[in-house]
Amino acid sequence: MTESELFKMKRIKIVFLSLISITLLTSCATTTVESQSKTTSNHKTPSREIETKKETAEDLFIKSLEGITITNVSSPKEITKGRSFSKPFVFSAKKADGSAAEGFALTLEYPVSKSIEGINFEKIDFVTDSEGNIYFTPAQTTFAAKTKVNVYPTPISDDASLPERLKPYTASADWKVKSDIASKGAVLFIWDYNEKDRPVNNSYNIQAEFRCRGITMVGNGPVNETSYIGKPNALYKDTYDIIGGTQYGYLIYGTIKFEQPVTENENGSGYYCLLKAEIEAVNMKNGSKIYTSVITYESKGKNWNECVSKGKDKLSQLVVDDLIYGL
């Protein structure tokens, strides 16, 4: 065998041994990984206690209402103060399948009195009849108001969160009682101001709006000087001295001003202004204040005249509407 052939054989042997070594190393590595994998898989993760929030009585109460629907079946028409509603307010409670929720506890909120601060409400608890209904007939009304009668499942506690959570299960009906201004009448002392914040004349728009609604016993009072603006006690006293306390039911006074003067839009598309009415009223019999309001309206128009005219017309509608249900 030549020296060249011997060299080739040694080279093949070295390559062969190298391949064996690589195979063994690979096998060992695989075995180690598998062993580690088995060790890992056999290792048990420590159990953790899952903390759950304990449900409150209020939570369980709300859950019990799922599928319950409260609706307003019928309501009486609006009336005038001093009269009684001709029909009862009727509300119904039904289950998810549409059947009547008999013996279901409901609470009804309705307006019971009114002061210069606002309307006071009272609650009455009911239990539905075999048809799932409750019927409510209020006593004779003694005050004007435009508000709501609300009915909802009777709360199980006084928890502060329940009123909000019960809103999806609440039904409402309109409570509309108009003032007796149409029969008792009123004298007006309401002044229009110009853009320079100066009184210019008694508001024609307010008086016209009353007449459009068929309320004709309303007109400007006998005291008509601007010096009485902002002096309600003197205004009442001097008006009473002239007409007494029984000829008209109310003295309505106040101002209509430009909160924002007529301004041209930046894009030149027209004009806008903001008008504000500050109105109060007293009972002519005794001078007690029975009404106060601040009403604003933003008007728009193609020009100055249209902007102001539309604004005063709309503001007058809002004021008269509020007076009819507010006196």
What is the model's pLDDT at position 51? 57
What confidence tens digit (pLDDT) does each residue in 272-292 have?
999 999 999 999 999 999 999
What is the model's pLDDT at position 29? 42
Do 75 and 88 form a contact (C-beta atoms < 8 A)? no
Superfamily of domain 57-178: Immunoglobulins (2.60.40.10)
Q: Where are the alpha helices (DSSP H) in the chain?
A: 3-42, 57-64, 162-165, 181-184, 204-212, 232-243, 304-326
Q: Beta-strand (E) ranges in 195-284?
A: 199-202, 218-220, 250-264, 271-283
One-letter amino acid for residue 10 of the chain? K
d(CA 257, CA 276): 5
What confidence tens digit (pLDDT) does each residue in 142-156 have?
999 999 999 999 999
How much is the average pLDDT of 49-59? Answer: 78
| Among 239, 320, 245, CA closest to 279 | 320
What is the model's pLDDT at position 281? 97
Reported as a pLDDT band with limits 50, 70 and 90, residue 4 is very low
d(CA 125, CA 135): 11
End-to-end CA distance of the chain: 132
Q: Which CATH architecture has domain 182-326?
A: 3-Layer(aba) Sandwich (3.40)
Strands 186-193 and 250-264 come out as parallel
How much is the average pLDDT of 315-322? Answer: 97
d(CA 116, CA 112): 14
User: Where are the domain boundaries for CATH 3.40.50.10610 in the chain?
Assistant: 182-326
How much is the average pLDDT of 157-165? Answer: 94
Helix (H, G, I), strand (E, B) or coil at 22: helix
Reported as a pLDDT band with limits 50, 70 and 90, residue 14 is very low
User: Where are the domain boundaries for CATH 2.60.40.10 in the chain?
Assistant: 57-178
Instruction: Please determine, for residue 227, whether its predicted confidence score (pLDDT) is greater than 90.
Output: yes
CB burial of residue 132 (10 Å; 0-12, 13-18, 19+): buried
How much is the average pLDDT of 85-97? Answer: 97
| Among 101, 83, 96, 94, CA closest to 143 | 83
What is the model's pLDDT at position 41? 44
Going 175 to 179 to 182 to 183, the CA torsion angle's sign is: positive
